[in-house]
């Protein structure tokens, strides 16, 4: 018999493929987890703050949950980076897909949050939208950051952008 998954917050039954977020020994659906910012509680900092002993299993347990991973990377970038090397190859690839690299600085973590990756990570869609937004806001800093971290992706998707965005981004 297939295991029935039910969200402890909204009470809705979930598809068997849904990745649940563990929260106080209960399972919460990704929608509720994102709403409630539950990623924060994937790790409870101890006296020494957050350690790799906490971070590594937190990443592994949430490897399919982009929201949780983004939050972990943003809140604890140093420990997050230090933990990635202890992951399995497939897990590292997953991190790399989402963040574009396995070494994430605070600056990049902030950029990632602004780019708002989906389950497929950062794709043309996110980059094009970011350039569009940067053009509208005359935000050259955003372009500089995109070029620093996602230059390949930017160049590849440039042909799908309107001319005014390409001009602003100088691609």
Contact residues toward Zn ion (CB under 5 A) are: 7, 9-10, 29, 32
Closest CB to Zn ion among residues 32, 130: 32
Gap between the terminal Cα atoms of the chain: 55
Q: How far is CA 117 from CA 9, 38, 52, 56, 95, in A?
A: 25, 18, 24, 21, 12
Q: What are phi and psi of 121, to 5 degrees?
A: 90, -145
Closest CB to Zn ion among residues 29, 59: 29
For 45, the 3-state DSSP assignment is coil
Closest CB to Zn ion among residues 35, 148: 35
Closest CB to Zn ion among residues 11, 90: 11
Cα 127 to Cα 121: distance, rounded to the nearest angstrom: 11
Q: Give the nearest distance from C-beta 4 to Zn ion in angstroms.
A: 14
Q: What are phi and psi of 145, to 5 degrees?
A: -65, -45
Q: Give the nearest distance from C-beta 31 to Zn ion in angstroms.
A: 6
Closest CB to Zn ion among residues 32, 122: 32
Among 139, 99, 121, residue whose Cα is nearest residue 169: 139
Q: Give the nearest distance from C-beta 67 to Zn ion in angstroms.
A: 13
Q: Give the nearest distance from C-beta 8 to Zn ion in angstroms.
A: 8
Q: Give the nearest distance from C-beta 33 to Zn ion in angstroms.
A: 8
């Amino acid at each position: 018999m297939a295991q029935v998954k039910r969200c402890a917050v909204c009470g809705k039954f979930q598809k068997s493929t849904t990745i649940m977020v563990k929260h106080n020994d209960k399972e919460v659906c990704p929608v509720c987890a994102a709403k409630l910012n539950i990623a924060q509680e994937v790790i409870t900092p101890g006296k020494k703050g957050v350690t790799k002993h906490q971070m590594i299993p937190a990443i592994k347990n949430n490897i399919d949950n982009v929201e949780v991973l983004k939050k972990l990377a943003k809140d604890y970038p140093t420990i997050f980076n230090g933990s990635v090397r202890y992951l399995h190859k497939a897990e590292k690839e997953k991190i790399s897909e989402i963040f574009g690299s396995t070494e994430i600085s605070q600056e990049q973590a902030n950029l990632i949050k602004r780019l708002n990756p989906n389950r497929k990570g950062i794709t043309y869609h996110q980059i094009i939208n970011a350039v569009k937004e940067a053009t509208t806001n005359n935000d050259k800093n955003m372009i500089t950051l995109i070029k620093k971290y996602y230059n390949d992706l930017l160049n590849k998707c440039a042909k799908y952008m309107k001319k005014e965005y390409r001009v602003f981004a100088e691609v």
